[in-house]
Structure 1
Amino acid sequence: MAVRGAASRPASGPVVLPGVWPVVLTTERLDLVPLHPSHAEEMAGVLSDPALHSFIGGEPLPPDALRARYERLAAGSPDPGVVWCNWVLRLRAGRELVGTVQATVEPARGRAELAWVVGTPWQGRGLAAEAARALAGRLRELPVGLLVAHVHPDHAASAAVAAACGLRPTPHRQDGEVRWESGGGPDGPTGRA
């Protein structure tokens, strides 16, 4: 079912893009649950491997610092033209959290930037691609025509996730990362900046 609508700001709380956030999305093996500060303690363990941060940057955060970050994300973007959509990935078998997906959506521009991360113990199972495909599919149902991701040129697994979402690499670079994009249609990248 296609979901249509522009972003709106409730009397209090984050900007909401109908049909994207804060709804639970499901895949064959995962529940994509809207991120909440209460996820911080478990997610601190999921993201605790320092090697995981070699491509995503930063370092593992303790639960209290991650909670503060999640509080900022859950509050929503301070820019009224931007919608932050963040989910934790809950593996249905076992019910544990295994990673995150996110989209920074600019409804007026019809654009969304995607990102994903899966904790080291759960990598290599196709979970990031499964979650990112679900998110990309939901965004394509909305008036979001341009999907973008930035992938480190040496991160083959993340490039495979981008490709699984229908994105293709472009010649554009940002902070040393390759810009991948899809116009949402069969023609692929639009070349828009």
Structure 2
Amino acid sequence: MIIETDRLILRPVSKQDTQDIAQVVFSDPGVVGMLAHDIRTQDSAIAEAERWTSIMGIDGGIWDDGGMGLFAIVLKSDQALAGVTGFYMERNEHQRWNGEYFYALGTRWHGRGLMSEAADTLGERLRSLDDLGVIYAGYWDMINEASGRLLRRTGLKPEGRKSVIEEYGADRCRMIFEFDLWRLSNAAPGEVRDSILAQVARRAGAFVAEDIITKDEALKSLKDRYGSPSLNRDAVTMLEASIKRPGMAYLEIRGSGGTEAPQNRLK
């Protein structure tokens, strides 16, 4: 399945895209910081990209099994891979399409409306399916509202919140926390570090709310990695707001045959 828009070619990813996805997605701090992956080691970007292309690719992945997987976002102008978008979508026992929708776009292509163009097209395709079950997505609200706008543009509608333990599991949540602290400790001082601090505080608050870490542990770790005996007001406010509003924003699009949402099989 190949889909074209005015500026883009959306084609199923293959194992040959592994290196490009590792570079564009998993080596880009501005992108991987909103995902749930750990790229602290030298080979981890390749390993995570290989996981995506093997599970959601066209050569041995979900496409070969009759499902619908991940599309490479390729610019018509120069054939560059700018990111990925798509699904982990299978037919359920009622032969309805169920699964997860997500995307990742390289920072250098932000602000051009490319993901909006892709979202409009994929959303139109989803809404045209007469055998649609439930397609869902989650995002880190309060720090990534642009993602929420894009998901709604695709056709998904807000349906409350989803527990981070339900989405990722407790062990993976702790891994995300450790990776976030690593990001913070390696960030250059200034606006970038302060922005990352707010992001880390947001996710840490979600983990505190579900008893994955304690509030004292979160505060001590944030101060240690930030390199200061105190946190700025924005970070403290973000942590407290996240504790009071547990989980992540949850959206879905549901066909006439949709029942309950599928479980996450990717994280």
Change (3 A) 1:163 1:40: same
CA RMSD of aligned residues (A): 2.6
For the structure 1 residues 139 and 95, does the alpha-carbon distance in structure 2 shift closer, same or farther, using more than 3 Å as the test?
same
Task: Work out whether residues 116 and 132 of structure 1, in 8 Å CA contact, stay in contact via their aligned partners in 2.
Answer: no
- Give the direction of change, closer, same or farther, for the CA distance of 1:177–1:39 in structure 2 (3 Å limit): same
CA distance in 2, matches of 1:123, 1:59: 23
Partner residue of 1:70 out of 53, 70, 75 = 53
Q: Give 1:69 shift.
A: 4.2
Q: Is the 8 A contact 1:136 1:147 kept in 2?
A: no
% identical equivalent positions = 26
Mapping of residues 170-185 of structure 1, within 5 Å: 170-175=159-164, 176-183=247-254
Q: Provide structure 2 residue ranges, at least 5 long, that are not aligned to the other structure.
A: 165-246, 262-267
**In structure 2, how many angstroms separate the alpha carbons of the residues matched to 1:191 and 1:169?**
16
Show CA shifts across 1:91-144 (max 9, x none). 111210000012122322443421111011111222122212222222332211
Supply the AA of the counterpart residue of 1:35: V
Aligned to 1:89: 73
Q: Does 1:26 align with 2:11?
A: no
Of 104, 112, 133, 2:88 maps to: 104
CA 1:65–1:192 in structure 2 vs 1: closer, same or farther (change >3 Å)? closer
Q: Which has the larger radius of gyration?
A: 2
**How many equivalent residue pairs?**
164
Any idea what the Cα deviations from partners look like across 1:67-99, whole Å, max 9, x if unmatched?
Answer: 35423433234xx7x824111100111210000
3-state SS in 2 of match to 1:159: helix
Gaps of 5+ in 1: 1-22
Matched, 1:113 2:68: no
Q: In the aligned structure 1, how far is the partner of 2:103 from the partner of 2:127?
A: 17
Tell me what 2:136 maps to. Answer: 148
Q: Distance in 2 between matches of 1:64 and 1:133?
A: 31
DSSP 3-state at the match of 1:133: helix
**TM score, norm. by length of structure 1:** 0.73
In structure 1, what is the Cα distance between the partners aligned to 2:112 and 2:32? 19
Q: How does the TM-score come out when normalised to structure 2?
A: 0.54
Q: Which residue of 1 aligns with 2:238?
A: none
2:34 is aligned to: 55
The within-5 A match list for 1:154-169 is 154=142, 155-169=144-158
* Cα pair 2:133 2:259 within 8 Å, conserved: no
Q: Greater share of helix residues, 1 or 2?
A: 2
Q: 1:173 to 1:24 in 2, by over 3 A?
A: same
